[in-house]
Structure 1
Amino acid sequence: MSDTTTPRRTVLLEEIRRTGGQWGRVRAARFNEAQGFGGNRDTARQDLRALVRRGALVQITTDGRCAYTAATAGGDR
């Protein structure tokens, strides 16, 4: 799994920052599909995890479910 910035990840991150809230793989996959990138949930999960590794998102786990939200400061390195 690569941490390379892709246009899909860039657009996804911009939307997460714009709308706020918590994002899971289903929401991310639906957004990606609406943008013409395809709606694969595994790809969305990989993108969200890659954005966490970059410091752009924070992972939140509640009751065994993962969600992601925009990092506050110092992210997107």
Structure 2
Amino acid sequence: MGTEEIRSYLSNYQQKAGVTHVTVNNVRRIISSFYSWIEDEDHIIESPVRRIKRVKAPQPIRETYGDKVARFFAITAGCPETLP
């Protein structure tokens, strides 16, 4: 099995199963571990998964606290002088 077949499998798996990029990356990692093991055991010369990079998943952007909320926490913690 070559690199292109594994890429095709991962792509088809994501489309058919409707899973996220994180899940596809986990499957890729498992396949990579298997091929690394059989490479270490000298059953293959080079792992075909080495050329498949990690699937980038979008990172959620977290909302920051505003000045009013920061002041509230500072006042309730007993140190209102720490904020302007």
Common topology (TM > 0.5): no
Bigger proportion of residues as helix: 2
Bigger proportion of residues as strand: 1
TM range (shorter): 0.3 to 0.5
TM norm structure 1: 0.37
Question: Of the two structures, which has the highest relative contact order with CA contacts closer than 8 Å and spacing of 6 or more?
Answer: 1
